[in-house]
């Protein structure tokens, strides 16, 4: 039933870029509506449907409405689908589709609404007729400054237009608690107590009485303090005592800005001030690699309205560290007892070895990943330095050590080697489904527990290494022997590069821990693999069928 075709058309779609508007980011696609989902495919109108590029389950849809195309480069006949993505955590996306003509637009809107109703979609009573304009930081239809604002107009399903309008007004009033005005003239301040004005600049009025000759106001850069030291910043923020209060100031290092933020780890704790360097790359400013901005005001606006995700925070006092289990690229690992009852593994991160803000932003997502063959992330201890990562404890250590230790026994147990491969394959398929790239899949990053259970660990952690070449000051080498051609050439990681690494891991398993490309120096691996097209040879105890699978994983991406 799910594959029955209700409607098929050739239209264009805008790339879903989480709010960034680019008038040239459109692609033509075949769209097919079924009773349960909307699919879109590549292909041409002359050649027909190609490969499926994506789908939206109808039951996840919140909005199906027309769009004013002014914010999309004045495109005509645009409609929108706002939906939750079931394969990703806490995500709401908007797909903009451009129909060829008004009738096609109307037909698709009606067909989608009817099909989604049959799937019990929970429609929103309000929506935005316009789009979110990233550079201006507001909705094009109503001027609201909150990206998460749900709407300003009643949707087709609103049971009462008046109720819907009231809801939109409540949303708007929550987002604009203080009066905002525009400066009509230029004004140069004559003292520190006065505020210089630029014509056309937006100001937020903080005074309650507007009849006074002077009122308190804040411009868009009210968070910037030029000549304030670290100690002064801490004094000001601590005296304010408000969670989330912040300032941007000049760092002691010339040309660098620092964000100073006051926060409370929990309601019972005293607040503290943390300082983060605002990094620069070319013309971009950023705190985390994921979110880069052309100006400081854009950076501040985004992080005011999109705070970094909180993850489970574990009090280090509840951890009793036991014996050291090992050390590596990121730090030292100990066995520990959590709350006097639970065995855990605690990884103490080397200070300066990773981008902490980037990691903490992703930690919430990582903690929500649950699979029988993934090492579970329980939480982090982030209120002190160095950061500690707390995971489940795997009694028999790394798969690499296990393979070397039991080589004589395992070489006679081909079924067990295949089972290890299958367990890891299931974990990697789950990571790919959740859009997680491992980047460092190898036997050293898999752990063995009781009853021959194997689990993948450190998934995605390599993303947060600060060294561009993934080489620590202590000489740990970039994992070139597990790297695909595109990683060696362009340092481009994807699920396909994870597939390549999985093939090398299979080779490790069937050799019980031999070094890939033994006899080839690290610096020569690139030429050996990419230039001369060499691949790992078939292990002695490996069947032709298994080796053929390995070879398929080592095909270059065209």
d(Cα 96, Cα 29) in Å, to the nearest integer?
Answer: 12
Sheet strand arrangement including 342-349 = 319-327, 331-338, 342-349, 388-392, 377-381
More confident residue, 74 or 244: 74
The two domains 178-220 and 399-553 share their CATH topology (first three levels equal): no
Q: What is the pLDDT of residue 173?
A: 47
Indicate if the pLDDT at residue 147 is higher than 80. Answer: no
Q: What is the pLDDT of residue 107?
A: 95
Percentage of the residues of the chain whose pLDDT score is greater than 70: 78
**Residue 66 φ/ψ, nearest 5 degrees:** -70, 165
pTM: 0.48
**Residue 24 pLDDT class (50, 70, 90 cuts):** low
Least confident of 149-153, 292-296, 414-418, 458-462: 458-462
Residue 239 in tokens: 């005296």
Binding site, annotated residues: 347
Encode pLDDT of 123-142 as tens digits.
998 999 999 887 777 888 88
Q: What is the pLDDT of residue 449?
A: 92
The 3-state DSSP class for residue 189 equals coil
Binding site, annotated residues for ATP: 347
Q: What number is the average pLDDT over the span 256-261?
A: 86
**Residue 293 pLDDT class (50, 70, 90 cuts):** confident
Q: Secondary structure of 310-367 in the HEC alphabet?
A: CCCECCHHHEEEEEEEEECCCEEEEEEEECCCEEEEEEEECCCCECHHHHHHHHHHHH
Encode pLDDT of 177-228 as tens digits.
456 677 777 777 776 567 777 666 677 776 655 555 677 777 766 677 777 8
Indicate if the pLDDT at residue 395 is higher than 50. Answer: yes
Encode pLDDT of 156-169 as tens digits.
887 555 555 555 55
Percentage of the residues of the chain whose pLDDT score is greater than 90: 34
Encode pLDDT of 432-484 as tens digits.
888 888 888 999 999 999 888 999 988 756 554 443 333 322 333 458 899 88
**Angstrom distances, CA of residue 3 to CA of 38, 83, 248, 256, 346:** 10, 20, 54, 56, 48
Contact assessment for residue 104 and residue 9, using Cβ atoms and an 8 Å cutoff: yes
Encode pLDDT of 347-377 as tens digits.
887 766 566 666 666 676 677 788 889 998 8
Contact assessment for residue 278 and residue 256, using Cβ atoms and an 8 Å cutoff: yes
Q: What is the pLDDT of residue 232?
A: 85
The domain 224-305 is placed in CATH, from the list 3.40.50.720, 3.30.1330.30, 3.30.505.10, 3.40.1190.20, at 3.30.505.10
CATH class as words, domain 178-220: mainly beta
**Residue 9 pLDDT class (50, 70, 90 cuts):** very high
Question: Domain coordinates of the chain in residue numbers?
Answer: 7-123, 178-220, 224-305, 316-392, 399-553
Encode pLDDT of 317-357 as tens digits.
889 999 999 876 667 899 999 888 889 999 887 766 566 66
Q: What is the pLDDT of residue 20?
A: 40
Q: What is the pLDDT of residue 223?
A: 76
Residue 487, C-beta contacts closer than 8 angstroms, at least 6 positions apart: 493, 497, 500
Q: Secondary structure of 496-507 in the HEC alphabet?
A: HHHHHHHHHHHH
Encode pLDDT of 50-107 as tens digits.
999 999 999 999 999 999 988 888 899 999 999 987 666 557 889 999 999 999 999 9
Q: Secondary structure of 421-480 in the HEC alphabet?
A: HHHHHHHHHHHHHCCCCCCCCCHHHEEECHHHCEEECCCCHHHHECCCCCCCCCCCCCCH
Contact assessment for residue 126 and residue 100, using Cβ atoms and an 8 Å cutoff: no
Contact assessment for residue 383 and residue 371, using Cβ atoms and an 8 Å cutoff: no
Domain 7-123 has CATH 3.40.50.10130: no
Helix axes 414-433 and 495-511, enclosed angle (nearest 10): 170
Query: Closest by alpha carbon to 10, among 63, 49, 68?
Result: 49
The pLDDT mean for the chain works out to 80
Least confident of 51-55, 486-490, 522-526: 486-490
DSSP string for residues in 205-267? E--S-TTSSS--EEETTTTEESS--HHHHHHHHHHH--TT-EEEEE-SSTT-EEEEEEE-SST
200: left (phi over 0), alpha (psi -120 to 50) or beta: left
Helix axes 495-511 and 544-553, enclosed angle (nearest 10): 150
Q: What number is the average pLDDT over the span 533-552?
A: 94
Q: What is the pLDDT of residue 316?
A: 86
Q: What is the pLDDT of residue 361?
A: 63
Q: What is the pLDDT of residue 467?
A: 39
d(Cα 211, Cα 301) in Å, to the nearest integer?
Answer: 30
Domain 399-553 has CATH 1.10.510.10: yes
d(Cα 289, Cα 46) in Å, to the nearest integer?
Answer: 41
Catalytic residues: 440
d(Cα 19, Cα 114) in Å, to the nearest integer?
Answer: 28
User: What is the fold of 316-392?
Assistant: Phosphorylase Kinase; domain 1 (3.30.200)
**Residue 171 pLDDT class (50, 70, 90 cuts):** low
Q: What is the pLDDT of residue 389?
A: 87
Q: What is the pLDDT of residue 468?
A: 38
**Angstrom distances, CA of residue 404 to CA of 288, 425, 444, 482, 484:** 39, 21, 11, 18, 25
């Amino acid at each position: 039933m799910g594959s029955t075709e209700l409607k098929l058309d050739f239209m264009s779609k805008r790339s879903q870029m989480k709010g960034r508007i680019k008038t040239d980011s459109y692609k033509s696609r075949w769209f097919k509506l079924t009773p349960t989902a909307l699919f879109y495919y590549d292909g041409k109108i002359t050649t027909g449907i190609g490969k499926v590029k994506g789908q939206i389950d109808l039951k996840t849809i919140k909005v199906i409405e027309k769009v004013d195309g002014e914010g999309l480069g004045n495109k005509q006949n645009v409609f929108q689908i706002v939906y939750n993505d079931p394969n990703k955590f806490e995500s709401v996306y908007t797909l903009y589709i451009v129909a060829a003509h008004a009738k096609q637009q109307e037909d698709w809107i009606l067909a989608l609404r009817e099909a989604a109703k049959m799937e019990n979609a929970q429609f929103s009573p309000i929506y935005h007729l316009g789009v979110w304009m990233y550079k201006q930081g507001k909705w094009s239809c109503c001027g609201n400054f909150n990206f998460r604002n749900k709407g300003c107009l009643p949707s087709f399903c609103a049971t009462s237009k008046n109720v819907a309008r009231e809801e939109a007004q409540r949303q708007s009033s929550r987002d604009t608690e203080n009066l905002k005005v525009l400066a009509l003239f230029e004004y140069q301040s004559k003292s520190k107590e006065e505020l210089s004005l630029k014509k056309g600049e937006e100001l937020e009025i903080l005074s309650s009485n507007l009849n006074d000759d002077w009122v308190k106001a804040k411009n868009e850069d009210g968070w910037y303090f030029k000549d304030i030291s670290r100690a002064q910043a801490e004094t000001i923020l601590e005296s304010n005592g408000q969670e989330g209060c912040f300032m941007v100031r000049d760092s002691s290092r010339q040309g660098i800005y620092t964000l100073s933020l006051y926060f409370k780890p929990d309601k019972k704790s005293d607040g503290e001030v943390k300082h983060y360097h605002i990094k620069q790359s070319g013309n971009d400013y950023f705190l985390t690699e994921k979110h880069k901005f052309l100006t400081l005001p854009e950076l501040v606006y985004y992080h005011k309205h999109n705070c970094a995700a909180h993850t489970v925070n574990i009090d280090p006092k509840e951890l009793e560290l036991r014996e050291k289990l090992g050390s590596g690229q990121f730090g030292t690992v100990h066995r520990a007892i959590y709350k006097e009852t639970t065995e855990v593994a605690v990884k103490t991160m080397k200070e300066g070895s990773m981008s902490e803000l980037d990691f903490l932003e992703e930690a919430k997502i990582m903690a929500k990943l649950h699979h029988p063959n993934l090492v579970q992330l329980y939480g982090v201890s982030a209120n002190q330095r160095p950061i500690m990562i707390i995971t489940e404890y795997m009694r028999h250590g790394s798969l690499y050590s296990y393979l070397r230790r039991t080589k004589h026994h395992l070489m006679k147990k081909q079924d067990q080697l295949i089972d290890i491969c299958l367990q890891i394959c299931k974990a990697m398929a789950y990571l790919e489904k959740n859009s997680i790239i491992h980047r460092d899949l190898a036997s050293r990053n898999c752990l063995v527990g009781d009853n021959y259970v194997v689990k993948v660990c450190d998934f995605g952690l390599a993303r947060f290494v600060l060294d561009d070449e993934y080489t620590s000051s202590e000489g740990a080498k970039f994992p070139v022997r597990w790297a695909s051609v595109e990683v060696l050439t362009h340092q481009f990681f994807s699920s396909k590069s994870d597939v390549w690494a999985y093939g090398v891991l299979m080779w490790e398993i069937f050799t019980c821990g031999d070094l890939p490309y033994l006899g080839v120096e690290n610096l020569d691996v690139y030429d050996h693999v990419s230039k001369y097209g060499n691949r790992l040879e078939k292990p002695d105890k490996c069947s032709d069928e298994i080796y053929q699978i390995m070879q398929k994983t080592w095909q270059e991406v065209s």
